A and B are shown apart, each in its own frame.
Chain A
Amino acid sequence: MKVIDHKIERLLWQVQKPARYTGNEWNAWRKDHAGIKVKMVLAFPDLYEVGMSNQGLKILYESVNRRPEMLMERAFAPAADMEELMRAHNLPLFALESGKPLAEFDLVGFSLQYELSFTNVLNMLDLAGISLHASERGESEPLVVGGGPCAFNPEPLAPFFDFFLLGESEECLPELLADLDAFKQTAPDRKELLAKLSEKEGVYVPALYRPVYKEKKLKALERVDPGAPGVIKKRLVKDLDSAPYPAAPVIPYLQTIHDRAVVELFRGCGRGCRFCQAGYIFRPVRRRSREEIVKTAREQIALTGYEELSLASLSSTDYTRLDELIDELDRALAGEQVKCNLPSLRLDSYSIKLADRLHRGKRSNLTFAPEAATERLRRVIKKNISEEEIFTALGDAVDAGWQGFKLYFMIGLPTESDEDVAAIAELCHRLKQYFRRKAGRRISISVSVSTFVPKAHTPFQWEPQLPLPEVTRRQEILQQGFKKMPGVDLSWHDAETSFLEAVFARGDRRLAAVLEWAFKLGCRFDGWTEHFSMSRWRQAFREADIEPEDYAQRRFEYDDLLPWSHLDCGVDKEVFIKEHRKAFNLDADFEGEFR
Chain B
Amino acid sequence: MTRIKFRFARHAPLKHISHLDMMRLFQRALRRSGLPLVYSEGYNPHLRFNLALPLPVNVTASEEFGEVYLSETVSPDQFVSTLRAQLPESLDLKSASSEDYKAPSLPSQVVAALYRATLGREENCRAGSSQFRAALDRLMAREEILVQKTKKKKKQAYVNVRPYIIEAYFKESGNESPLELYMLLQAGSSGGVSPFFVIEQLEKELNCDCNNKAFWELHRESLYTDKDQFLQPLSEGM
Contacts and interface: CB of A to CB of B under 8 A. Distances in A.
Q: Specify whether A and B are partners.
A: yes
Interface of A: 1, 3-4, 9-10, 12-13, 18-19, 22, 24, 26, 251, 253-255, 302-307, 336-337, 361-362
B24 A361 contact: no
Given A304-B32, A337-B39, A24 B17 contact: no
Given A24-B13, A305-B27, A253 B21 contact: yes
Contact of A307 (B16, B27, B58, B215): B27
Contacts of B45: 337, 361
Given A302-B32, A337-B45, A254 B21 contact: yes
A305 B57 CA distance: 23
A3 B13 contact: yes
B29 interface: yes
A253 B17 contact: yes
Contacts of A22: 13, 16
Given A22-B13, A254-B21, A361 B43 contact: yes
Interface string B41-63: 00111000000000001100000
Interface of B: 12-14, 16-18, 20-21, 24-25, 27-32, 39, 43-45, 57-58, 86, 88-90, 122-123, 215
Nearest to A301: B31
A12 B44 CA distance: 36
B28 A305 contact: yes
5 contacts: A12-B58, A22-B13, A255-B24, A305-B29, A307-B31
A303 B88 CA distance: 14
A13 to B, nearest CB: 5
Contacts of B58: 12-13, 18
A217 to B, nearest CB: 52
Contacts of A307: 27-28, 31
Given A10-B215, A24-B88, A361-B44, A19 B31 contact: no
A24 B57 CA distance: 16
A22 B89 CA distance: 14
Interface of A is mostly: loop
Contacts of A24: 13-14, 88, 90
Q: B13, B16, B21, B31 — which one has the most chain A CB atoms within 10 A of its CB?
A: B16
B88 to A, nearest CB: 6
Contact of A255 (B16, B21, B29): B21
B68 to A, nearest CB: 14
Given A13-B58, A362-B44, A19 B21 contact: yes
B28 A306 contact: yes
A19 B29 contact: no
Nearest to B87: A26
A9 B120 CA distance: 12
Contact of A251 (B28, B43, B122): B28
A12 B21 CA distance: 17
A305 B88 contact: no
Contacts of B44: 361-362
B124 to A, nearest CB: 11
A255 B27 contact: no
Contacts of A337: 31, 39, 45
Nearest to A2: B13
B35 to A, nearest CB: 11
B30 A305 contact: yes
A19 B28 contact: no
A4 B13 contact: yes
Contact of B16 (A19, A304, A336): A19
A362 B44 CA distance: 7
B16 A1 contact: no
A251 B27 CA distance: 12
Ranked nearest first, the 6 interchain pairs of A and B with the lowest CB-CB distance are: A305-B28, A305-B31, A18-B16, A305-B32, A362-B43, A19-B16
B134 to A, nearest CB: 26
B89 A1 contact: yes
Contacts of A10: 122-123, 215
A306 B31 CA distance: 8
Contacts of B13: 1, 3-4, 22, 24
B44 to A, nearest CB: 5
A3 B89 CA distance: 12
B16 A303 contact: no
Contact of B17 (A3, A19, A362): A19
Nearest to B44: A361
A12 B16 contact: yes
B149 to A, nearest CB: 21
Contacts of A362: 43-44
Contacts of A361: 43-45
Nearest to A14: B213
B87 to A, nearest CB: 9
A38 to B, nearest CB: 28
B32 A13 contact: no
Nearest to B216: A13
Contacts of B215: 10, 13
Contacts of B86: 305
- Point out which of B20, B25, B30, B31 has the most chain A C-beta atoms below 10 A from its C-beta: B31
B29 to A, nearest CB: 6
Nearest to A254: B21
A69 to B, nearest CB: 27
B216 to A, nearest CB: 9
Contacts of B31: 305-307, 336-337
Nearest to A4: B13
Given A18-B57, A337-B45, A362-B44, A254 B28 contact: no
A68 to B, nearest CB: 23
A255 B88 CA distance: 17
B27 to A, nearest CB: 7
Nearest to A339: B44
A253 to B, nearest CB: 5
Contact of B88 (A13, A19, A26, A302): A26
Contacts of B39: 337
Contacts of B28: 26, 251, 304-307
Nearest to B34: A302
Nearest to A24: B13
B40 to A, nearest CB: 11
Contacts of A1: 13, 89
Contacts of A251: 28
Contacts of A304: 28, 32
A361 B31 CA distance: 19
A302 B89 CA distance: 20
Contacts of B88: 24, 26
Contacts of B89: 1
Nearest to A303: B32
Contacts of A3: 13
Nearest to A18: B16
A365 to B, nearest CB: 14
A251 B26 CA distance: 12
